Structure 1
Amino acid sequence: MLFGAILVLSWLILLIRYPAKALPISLAAVLGLGLVAAWVLWQEGRENRDLSHLQLRIDYAPQRCPADRPLALTLRNGSDAALQELRWRIAAYRPGEHINLAERLYESPRYSGPGDLLPGATWETCLPLPTLRSGYRASSLEFRAEDLQGRFSH
């Protein structure tokens, strides 16, 4: 923090004392920072667009899955890029409500998806239940994936 303040103060002194030399350099630096910021925003927008094309469905299905992993997950890659990595958290809601009933503890599991999922491909697996608040049964809840973070190959 102190280093940044000293750097900005030095830049202002140079800009006031030697405007003919410092102004072109300052404009070039601002242009460079603007280009980097635009590139980062473009990359983030492209990643968000690809994540929005994923179709992720989580159902409580103890009849289809083992007892220690009763959540059935179906993931379809609807984007035009191959999915290389995907991480998410599972939230549990009573139908029609907006209060997450899955406890967010430090040791709560962070789920991850397949290594490579081609465009249009589907991946199915069974997942363990997140820790639920006491008094709620998994069979009466809806499960959703939240905090999706992914990486795509373009």
Structure 2
Amino acid sequence: MLIGALLVASWVILVIRYPLRAVPISLGALLGLGVVAAWVIWQEQREEHLLAQLELRLTYEPASCPAAQPLRITLDNHSQRPLRTLSWEVGAYAPGSGLNLVTSNYDAPQYRGPGDLQPGQRWQSCAPLPPLRPGYRSSSLEFRAERLQGHFEE
């Protein structure tokens, strides 16, 4: 923070002392910074658009999954690009409630998707449940994927 304050103070001094040189250079730097910021925002919106085209379903299925991993994960890639990496957090909700019943996301297992999922393909796997608040049964809860982070092939 001190370095930023020193940079701003020195910039103000240069603009006051040498306005004919400092103003055009400052405008060029501001334009360059604006171009970089616009490119970053465009990339983030593109990734969000591609993530929105994924269909990720989480269901509690102890009959078809191992006992230690009763959460069935089904991922469909409806985008036009191959999915390279995907990670998310799991939220558990009682029907009709908006309260997340996962006790702590710090103790929760890491949920990651396949390393390579081509457009139009489906991936299925089983995963462990996140730690839940006491008094709730997993069979009566609805599980949702939250905070998706992923990367697609260019």
TM-score, with structure 1 as normaliser = 0.97
- In the alignment, the residues of structure 2 paired with residue 56 and residue 85 of structure 1 have an alpha-carbon distance, to the nearest angstrom, of 14
CA contact (8 A) 2:89 2:147 kept: yes
Counterpart residue number, 1:61: 61
- Map of 1:88-107 to 2, 5 A cutoff? 88-107=88-107
Q: Read off the aligned partner of 1:140 and give its amino acid letter.
A: S
- Map of 1:14-33 to 2, 5 A cutoff? 14-33=14-33
- In the alignment, the residues of structure 2 paired with residue 119 and residue 12 of structure 1 have an alpha-carbon distance, to the nearest angstrom, of 52
Counterpart residue number, 2:148: 148
Counterpart residue number, 1:138: 138
Q: CA deviation at 1:107?
A: 2.4
- Map of 1:103-118 to 2, 5 A cutoff? 103-118=103-118
Cα deviations by residue, 1:73-116 (Å, 9 ceiling, x for unpaired):
10001111111111111111111110111111522212111001
- In the alignment, the residues of structure 2 paired with residue 105 and residue 32 of structure 1 have an alpha-carbon distance, to the nearest angstrom, of 39
Count residues with an aligned counterpart.
154
- In the alignment, the residues of structure 1 paired with residue 74 and residue 13 of structure 2 have an alpha-carbon distance, to the nearest angstrom, of 60
Q: CA deviation at 1:23?
A: 0.9
Aligned to 1:30, the other structure's residue is in SS state: helix
Counterpart residue number, 2:74: 74
- In the alignment, the residues of structure 1 paired with residue 142 and residue 5 of structure 2 have an alpha-carbon distance, to the nearest angstrom, of 50
- In the alignment, the residues of structure 1 paired with residue 99 and residue 153 of structure 2 have an alpha-carbon distance, to the nearest angstrom, of 35
- In the alignment, the residues of structure 1 paired with residue 133 and residue 20 of structure 2 have an alpha-carbon distance, to the nearest angstrom, of 66
- In the alignment, the residues of structure 2 paired with residue 86 and residue 102 of structure 1 have an alpha-carbon distance, to the nearest angstrom, of 21
Give identity over the alignment, percent.
58
Taking only aligned residues, the RMSD between alpha carbons, in angstroms, comes to 0.9
- In the alignment, the residues of structure 2 paired with residue 114 and residue 15 of structure 1 have an alpha-carbon distance, to the nearest angstrom, of 53
TM-score, with structure 2 as normaliser = 0.97
Aligned to 2:125, the other structure's residue is in SS state: strand
Q: Read off the aligned partner of 1:49 and give its amino acid letter.
A: H
Counterpart residue number, 1:124: 124
